């Protein structure tokens, strides 16, 4: 694994925008999509990332069963009203579409799990499409760990075969990254033969008589993909209607147990010493550690603590906690940058990676996306 600096394509902005990546710069005007460098892997390293992703998926599924069997709902901040609903989702083996493991990896030691974006992961179009077309322009004879698009079409085909004809896609209004993510997912569902529509989450209605979520034309919505966190949805005005609605959801309700940081100490308790896990606890750890809000997102309110001193911290809306604590492992550095590898899981299959890098120690929503290849 190495980082190689190169000259960006002269017209890279137009090229990535033409493929849908309209937010290729950050709000500060800096490149978000950054092709002034790429990461090169060899086939052995890609195999390690593939195998690690599959192994972590199995650990997480075992952890869900453990949480349910032992009624550990409180530590995951699940409202008591929604416990049976989540349990039923798991027992009915409701479909999952995708998730993303964020890993530290230097090409030598075993990859280490930082967190699992199990419910609402973004940076999907960049990984599945944008870096693939970059590869065709820059290194067409090289390869890339990337079958994300094919796997997405495949899972929608499976869902369509179960009798579903149409899917509605939700996200927060006026949020470009979320809208582009669900638009891309909607396109993969359309390619699989489903009828699709987009409906901002604040336009989602409820028809009490029909016990169904409905669109603005009062049409019942049998299947909704929502890029909207379960922990928000369960606590909002319509949260009680989730329990009686005939609507199916993607991601399914049981993913709420994997999408918050309480899964990190739970995994460590179940599988202590596992080579792909970092020690984690619900209490502060001795030595350098990272404090993370259980319901935090996008690297907000993450603090690196060394002894009694805060070494590095990010701001955000989750500072009140509660928190989990994970051992701090010095991240790999390449040319002064810290890469975090997002390893994608679609329908239970490891199928590709996307890399975000930052000059700091914590990856946030403004960290740059850098493409990769392998030989």
Assigned domain for 183 exists: yes
Same-domain check for residues 166 and 315: no
Same-domain check for residues 133 and 194: yes
pLDDT per residue rounded down to tens, the chain (375 residues): 999 999 999 999 999 999 999 988 766 677 899 999 999 999 999 999 999 999 999 999 999 999 999 999 999 999 999 999 999 999 999 999 999 999 999 999 999 999 999 999 999 999 999 999 999 999 999 999 999 999 999 999 999 999 999 999 999 999 999 999 999 999 999 999 999 999 999 999 999 999 899 999 999 999 999 999 999 999 999 999 999 999 999 999 999 999 999 999 999 999 999 999 999 999 999 999 999 999 988 778 899 998 767 777 888 888 777 999 999 998 999 999 999 999 999 999 999 999 999 988 777 777 899 999 999
Same-domain check for residues 25 and 121: yes
Same-domain check for residues 202 and 293: no
Structural domain of 240: 2-261+331-374
Crossing angle of helices 83-91/43-69, nearest 10°? 130
What is the full DSSP assignment across 2-56?
EEEE-PPPTTHHHHHHHTT----B-TTSSBSB--SEEEEE-HHHHHHHHHHHHHH
Rounded Cα distance between 3 and 355, Å, is 11
- For the chain, the domain total comes to 2
Same-domain check for residues 341 and 317: no
Same-domain check for residues 323 and 342: no
Assigned domain for 266 exists: no
Same-domain check for residues 216 and 318: no
Same-domain check for residues 113 and 6: yes
Length of the chain: 375
Same-domain check for residues 311 and 225: no
Q: Are 119 and 229 contacting, i.e. CB atoms less than 8 angstroms apart?
A: yes
Same-domain check for residues 25 and 69: yes
Same-domain check for residues 318 and 335: no
- pTM for this predicted structure: 0.95
């Amino acid at each position: 694994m190495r980082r190689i600096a190169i000259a960006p394509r002269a017209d890279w902005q137009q090229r990535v925008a033409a493929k849908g990546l309209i937010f290729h710069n950050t709000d500060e005007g800096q490149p978000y999509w950054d092709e002034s460098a790429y990461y090169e892997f060899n086939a052995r390293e890609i195999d390690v990332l593939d195998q690690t992703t599959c192994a972590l998926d199995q650990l997480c599924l075992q952890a869900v069963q453990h949480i349910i069997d032992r009624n550990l709902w409180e530590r995951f901040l699940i409202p008591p009203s929604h416990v049976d609903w989540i349990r039923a989702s798991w027992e009915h083996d409701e479909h999952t579409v995708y998730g993303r493991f964020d890993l530290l990896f230097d090409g030598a030691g075993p990859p280490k799990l930082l967190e699992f974006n199990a419910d609402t992961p973004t940076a999907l179009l960049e990984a599945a499409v944008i870096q693939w077309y970059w590869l065709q322009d820059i290194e067409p004879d090289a390869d890339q760990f990337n079958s994300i698009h094919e796997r997405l079409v495949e899972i929608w085909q499976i869902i369509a075969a179960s009798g579903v004809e149409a899917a509605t896609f939700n996200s927060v209004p006026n949020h470009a990254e979320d809208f582009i993510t669900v638009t891309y997912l909607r396109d993969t569902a359309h390619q699989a033969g489903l009828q699709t529509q987009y409906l901002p989450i604040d336009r989602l209605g409820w028809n009490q008589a029909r016990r169904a979520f409905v669109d603005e034309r009062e049409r019942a919505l049998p299947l909704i993909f929502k890029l909207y966190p379960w922990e928000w949805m369960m606590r909002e005005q319509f949260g009680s209607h989730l329990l009686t609605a005939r609507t199916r959801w993607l991601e399914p309700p049981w993913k709420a147990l994997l999408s918050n940081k309480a899964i990190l100490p739970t995994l460590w308790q179940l599988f202590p010493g596992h080579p792909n896990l970092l020690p984690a606890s619900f209490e502060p750890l001795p030595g350098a550690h990272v404090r993370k809000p259980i319901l935090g997102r996008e690297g907000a309110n993450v603090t690196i603590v060394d002894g009694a001193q805060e070494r590095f911290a990010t701001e955000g809306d989750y500072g009140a906690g509660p928190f989990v604590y994970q051992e701090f492992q010095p991240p790999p550095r390449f040319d002064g940058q810290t890469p975090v590898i997002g390893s994608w899981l679609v329908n239970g299959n490891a199928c590709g990676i996307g890399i975000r890098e930052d000059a700091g120690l914590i990856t946030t929503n403004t960290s740059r996306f850098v493409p990769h290849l392998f030989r």
